[in-house]
Copies of this chain bind each other. A is one copy, B any other.
C-alpha cells in the first residue's frame, strides 16, 4: 500500500521574546549567537558583561556580523514592556548569582541560567532558593537553571526515559567526554597537565571537577520520589599513560589528563542513583548512557555523547521558549513543559480529513 496524505497547516505565530544575555563567557557568546540566528523567535535587546575588558566593546566584534550595531553594556537595561527574558551565563554558584537574579527580576525579566548550582538550587542553598522563589512569584516571572550537564544529560533525560518504567530500582548514568575535543578552558578545568598532588589539593578545596554532579543526583532522586539519605561523591584524576598533546595543552605521561567524577545516591546501603562522569584527554568511546533497572529494563545510548557547549546553548533557548507563559517561580528543569526545540506552533490536518464528520 502506498498513499499520499496532503496536509493543511494552521500557524500560531510565536511572539518574539525580547532577550538580553548577561555574561559573555563561552556559553554566553554561544547563546547570543544562537538567538541571533533565530530572529523570528527572539528579539535581541542587549548583551551585558560587567568585566572592564569586555563592557564597551562593539557587539559585532564579540558576537559576529549577525549582531546589531552597538556595544556590550556594563549592566542590563530595564526590560521592554511585556514579557522579556535574560539569559544569565556568568558563574556557578547560587550565592554568586542571587543578587543579579533579583536585579533582573526587578527589571522585569524571566531568568534562564547556566549557573550549575541553580539546576537544583535547594540542595546547597535551600533558604536562598526559597527567597528567590518568592521574589520570582512577586515579579510574576520564572527563574530556572539548566544546560546539558547539569540540566539534561544526567537529570531531565533519564527522568524522561523513566516515564517508561513500571517499576524502577536503580538509575545509572555514564557520560564520557573526550576533553581533547573541547575548548581550552574545559581542558584546564579538568586539570590537564597538573601533578596528582596539585589535583588532589584543588579537589579537596572544591576548585576542580564538574560543578553540578551532586545537584543532578538530588534532582533525579527528588523527581523520582526517592528519599536519598546520602550522596557519596568521589573525584579522582585520570593520569596520562603517555604524552598527550592537544591544540591547547601538552600533558607528559604521569601527569593528570582529566577527571573521573562520581556520585552515588544512597537509601540505606543501596545505591539507587549512580552518576559517572569521565572527562579526559583522549577518552575512548565518548558517549552518554542511561541504564534503568526495573520493569521493563531500559538502556539508552547517545554514541559520541551530547556536545557540551552546543547543547547547553540549545537547552537554554529551549527553556526560554518554555518559561514564557509558565507559572511564576523558581523552577527546576524537569518541572517545565516537555523539552522541545523552540519554534512556532503549528496544527496539521489532512486535507481529506474529517472522515464521516
SS of A interface (majority): mixed
**Docked-complex contact B160 and A340, CB < 8 angstroms:** yes
When C-beta atoms are compared, the residue in chain B nearest to A307 turns out to be B296
Could you say which residues of chain B place their CB within 8 Å of the CB of A214? 5
Partner of A221, one of B223, B236, B348: B348
Task: Assess A227 versus B122: contact at CB under 8 Å? Given A163-B340, A337-B337, A339-B160.
Answer: no
A185 proximal to B (CB < 8 A): no
Could you say which residues of chain B place their CB within 8 Å of the CB of A241? none
A247 proximal to B (CB < 8 A): no
Bin the interface of chain A by size.
Answer: 35 or more
**Docked-complex contact B301 and A355, CB < 8 angstroms:** no
Q: Which residues of A contact B (CB under 8 A)?
A: 1-7, 9, 11, 34, 37, 95, 120, 122-128, 148, 152, 156-157, 159-160, 162-168, 200, 203-204, 209, 214, 218, 221-236, 295-296, 298-304, 306-307, 310-311, 313-315, 318, 333-341, 343-350, 353-357
Instruction: Sample 29 A-B pairs with CB under 8 A, ordered by A number.
Output: A1-B233, A1-B235, A2-B234, A4-B231, A5-B214, A9-B227, A95-B356, A124-B350, A126-B347, A126-B349, A126-B353, A152-B163, A159-B339, A160-B160, A160-B338, A160-B339, A163-B341, A164-B315, A166-B313, A223-B340, A224-B341, A227-B346, A228-B348, A299-B302, A300-B300, A300-B301, A300-B302, A335-B337, A338-B339
